[in-house]
């Protein structure tokens, strides 16, 4: 299986850290008709974070927002079952957690992840991204313990603009990377739920 170059480089860096690797699932709540713009996000554990700036400019009836939440919650649950099966979440209480994403535009999905993980009482949360809007990176400095934004180009526009290949990672790729991570850590992984 060939992975996008960015995924391969990230995997090599993770191996250099010798840290456990796992997924923490978050779903963007896209603006109807403009799904790439996040009006908020949901995360495992029932966390829902709304992007107040976007919500000020968009006047959506509550039932429209609820419909988006229901759809994304179903996808979140599908992925949890597919990627993790019955495997318990890793114990993060008292540990340093590094949240990694392909980039930050509004930061809604990363914010939801940080809020959800904060409830699990890690010692420290670090946000690490290769590219981000400068303003979003600055906002995160007050929300997590450390922020690493490798590049903050101006104008920013969108995360995908800063990648030669911004193709989506498939479910199969995610499962293979998690299985490889478990093997590297000397763990056994129970098979995710049957498809």
DSSP 34: E
Read off the pLDDT band of 108 (50, 70, 90): confident
Residue 13 has a pLDDT of 62
What DSSP assignment string belongs to 144-187? SSEEEEEE--SS---GGGG-S--PPPPHHHHHHHHHHHHHHTT-
**Structure tokens, 23:** 């997924």
5-163 classified as CATH 3.40.50.300: no
Between 27-31, 111-115, 180-184, the lowest mean confidence (pLDDT) is in: 180-184
Q: Distance (Å, rounded) from C-alpha 29 to C-alpha 37? A: 8
> Tens digits of per-residue pLDDT, 130-181?
999 999 999 999 999 999 999 999 999 888 888 888 888 899 988 888 888 8
Residue ranges of domains in the chain: 5-163
Between 52-61, 119-128, 161-170, the lowest mean confidence (pLDDT) is in: 52-61
Residue 10 has a pLDDT of 58
Strand partners, 27: 42
Q: What is the pTM of this model?
A: 0.79
DSSP 161: G
Residue 17 has a pLDDT of 72
Residue 110 has a pLDDT of 92
Largest CA distance in the chain: 51
């Amino acid at each position: 299986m060939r992975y996008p170059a960015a995924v391969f480089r990230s995997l090599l860096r993770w191996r250099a850290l010798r840290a456990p690797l796992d997924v923490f699932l978050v779903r963007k709540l896209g603006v109807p008709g403009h799904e790439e713009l996040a009006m908020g996000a949901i995360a495992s554990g029932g966390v829902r974070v709304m992007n107040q700036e976007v919500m000020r400019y968009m006047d959506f009836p509550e039932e429209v927002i609820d419909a988006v939440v229901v759809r994304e919650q179903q996808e979140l649950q599908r992925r949890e079952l597919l990627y993790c099966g019955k495997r318990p979440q890793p114990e993060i209480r008292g540990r340093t957690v590094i949240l990694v994403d392909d980039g930050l535009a509004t930061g809604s999905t990363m914010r939801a992840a940080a809020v959800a993980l904060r409830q699990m009482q890690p010692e420290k949360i670090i946000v690490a991204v290769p590219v981000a809007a400068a303003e979003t990176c600055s906002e995160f400095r007050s929300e997590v313990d450390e922020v690493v934004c490798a590049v903050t180009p101006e104008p920013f526009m969108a995360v995908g603009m800063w990648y030669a290949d911004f193709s989506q990672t498939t479910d199969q790729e995610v499962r293979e990377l998690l299985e490889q991570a478990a093997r590297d850590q000397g763990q056994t992984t129970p098979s995710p739920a049957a498809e």
